[in-house]
Amino acid sequence: MAPLAGSRPLAIAADPCKCALDLDAGAGPHSMNLTHPFRDADGDKLREECGVFGVIGAQDAANITAAGLHSLQHRGQEAVGITCFSGSDFRSHRGLGHVAQVFDNDTLETLPGAMASGHVRYSTTGGSGLRNVQPLYADLAAGGFSIAHNGNISNAMTLKRDLVMKGSIFQSTSDTEVIIHLVATSRYPTLLDKFIDALRMVEGGYALICMTNEGMMACRDPLGIRPLVMGRIGDAIVFASETVAFDVIGAEFIRAVEPGELVQVDFKGTISSHRPFGSPSPRPCIFEHVYFSRPDSVMDGISVYQARKQIGMELAKESPANADVVIPVPDSGVPAAIGYAQESGIPFELGIIRSHYVGRTFIQPGDAARHSSVKRKHNANRAIVEGKRIILIDDSIVRGTTSMKIVEMMRDAGAAEVHMRIASPPTQHSCFYGVDTPERSKLLAAKMDTQAMADFIKADSLAFVTIDGLYRAVGEPKRAKKCPQFCDACFTGDYPTRLTDFETAGSRA
């Protein structure tokens, strides 16, 4: 489809291969009021904010969607919703909690139709609460419109301010609702044109699955920061944040939705591809390979599990240590630890055992309960640890409080030495594209060098994989300085889009 006449330019950096801003201190606009709801007592873990799933052309669309969302539960455990189209009207069910808590057979029977989409979320923009649970739905002049969004609109506050001044009334505090209002107020004739016009006004990272009376639309932001893939089950077309959702429902993977592509599917099964955003250089999020995606997913043609093992191998080459055993911090550190052990020749052992039956720590009452969260989730395997020089492998260090507690646990279990190795570069900058990160002033790597961080967590040594080592692990010879192959802003500060809300607020991240 040709670019719409009179549309605004894409909200990416003037040179899409260069950093839009040089940011060095302060907080970022992770919600409409520039505050950020941390998900646990310490805010000491990076989290992908959402997962999306959609299917069109299947008589049991809601059931398929529920199964797909279950496989994406790791991408959001705060709330879940499913919206379906019965052929005559849209119906929704949304709730706080996990998929299995919100949806049972009786609930799914109230969601008939051959088209459905769903969403699992942690809250980033707008905070928690049932009114922000997606998919969001609106009756527009052009018909019903449902939207499920993974990512973050980094100029949502600015757009919302303009829309409210023009008379828009918002029902949620989610940045996603801004897209609905932009669609509703667009002067273009068709719903597809209105949708494209709206997307031309937004900044940031997004993967969207939208439903209308005419079918389904799925799209990624022009740089492909957030992931989205397309598959087929029987005669039905499915979309999901990760390929693992296709494995669970028995669907065949077709391909990734390309950066900047909008795929339209009607009820006859006709697939149309639109590319209304030009051809900027893609910048998919590299942290999907480090931590966010499930290890059994394939991201951009790369096995996530194999990539994480390779990161561990690169880490072993770059930062060896004299030790007796390699121990992962479960579960996220396991593949990298296997790779480190294989490359170094040091035995891999499960020196930390994780309980899978611990509730989310942020809802536990009282400081004592929250502060004991690490011990309730993880316990040292003393028979493996005692008297040993150990190498601990984890995916990242955010605030450092969890790493400190894990190191302390190893020492209490009798470890002779504790060397920590991290399967990502230092996280020095906040993310504005749909990842739950603290403000920069609370990121340990933004305040300290590596030796100071090692002293803070009380490790005998600490090392991170280099940025080039990370790129090698995902199949690139090194990070291209002029035009990086991935969005790695959390490590480098090289933000690939404009950050209008952030600049307007006068903050620096």
Q: What is the pLDDT of residues 50-98, one digit of tens each?
A: 999 999 999 999 999 999 999 999 999 999 999 999 999 999 999 999 9
Q: What is the pLDDT of residues 467-477, one digit of tens each?
A: 999 999 999 99
Rounded to an integer, what distance in angstroms lies between the CA atom of residue 242 and that of residue 152? 18
Rounded to an integer, what distance in angstroms lies between the CA atom of residue 290 and that of residue 313? 13
Contacts 24+ apart (CB under 8 A), 101-109: 103/66, 108/62, 108/63, 108/66, 108/82
In the sheet that 115-121 helps form, which strands lie side by side, from edge to edge? 90-96, 79-85, 115-121, 50-56, 236-240, 229-233, 252-256
Banded pLDDT at 431 (limits 50, 70, 90): very high
Q: Which of the residues are catalytic?
A: 50
Could you give all domains of the chain from N- to C-terminal order, each with its CATH number?
Answer: 49-282 (3.60.20.10), 300-505 (3.40.50.2020)
Rounded to an integer, what distance in angstroms lies between the CA atom of residue 358 and that of residue 374? 10
6 pLDDT more than 70: no
* pLDDT the model gives residue 76: 92
Rounded to an integer, what distance in angstroms lies between the CA atom of residue 436 and that of residue 430? 9
Q: What is the pLDDT of residues 328-350, one digit of tens each?
A: 999 999 999 999 999 999 999 99
Cα-Cα-Cα-Cα dihedral sign, residues 29, 33, 37, 38: positive
**Element spanning 305, H or E:** helix 304-318
CA 91 to chain CA centroid, nearest Å:
27
Rg value, the chain, Cα: 23
Pairwise pLDDT comparison (108 vs 132), residue with the higher score:
108
At residue 306, the 3 state secondary structure works out as helix
Burial track 67-87 (b if 16+ CB lie within 10 A, e otherwise): bbbbbbebbbbbbbbbbbbee
Q: Match 């790493």 to its residue by tokens.
A: 403
* pLDDT the model gives residue 34: 29
| % of the chain residues with pLDDT over 70 | 85
Mean pLDDT calculated for residue range 139-156: 95
Rounded to an integer, what distance in angstroms lies between the CA atom of residue 351 and that of residue 354? 10
Q: What is the pLDDT of residues 260-277, one digit of tens each?
A: 999 999 999 999 999 999
**Element spanning 500, H or E:** helix 500-505
**Pair of tokens at residue 184:** 């509703």
What's the pTM?
A: 0.89
| Angular region, 30: left φ>0, alpha ψ -120 to 50, beta rest | alpha
CB 37 within 8 A of CB 78: no
Q: Is the peptide bond before 42 cis (omega within 30 degrees of 0)?
A: no
First to last CA, the chain: 37
Pairwise pLDDT comparison (6 vs 115), residue with the higher score:
115
Q: What is the pLDDT of residues 194-215, one digit of tens each?
A: 999 999 999 999 999 999 999 9
**Pair of tokens at residue 2:** 């040709």
CB 230 within 8 A of CB 263: yes
Q: Which residues contact 90 (CB under 8 A, 6 or more apart)?
A: 83, 84, 137, 144, 146, 211
What residues pair up with 136 in beta bridges, in sequence order? Answer: 147
Cα-Cα-Cα-Cα dihedral sign, residues 8, 10, 14, 20: positive
At residue 195, the 3 state secondary structure works out as helix
CB 479 within 8 A of CB 467: yes
Q: Which residues contact 66 (CB under 8 A, 6 or more apart)?
A: 82, 99, 103, 108, 118
CB 492 within 8 A of CB 450: no
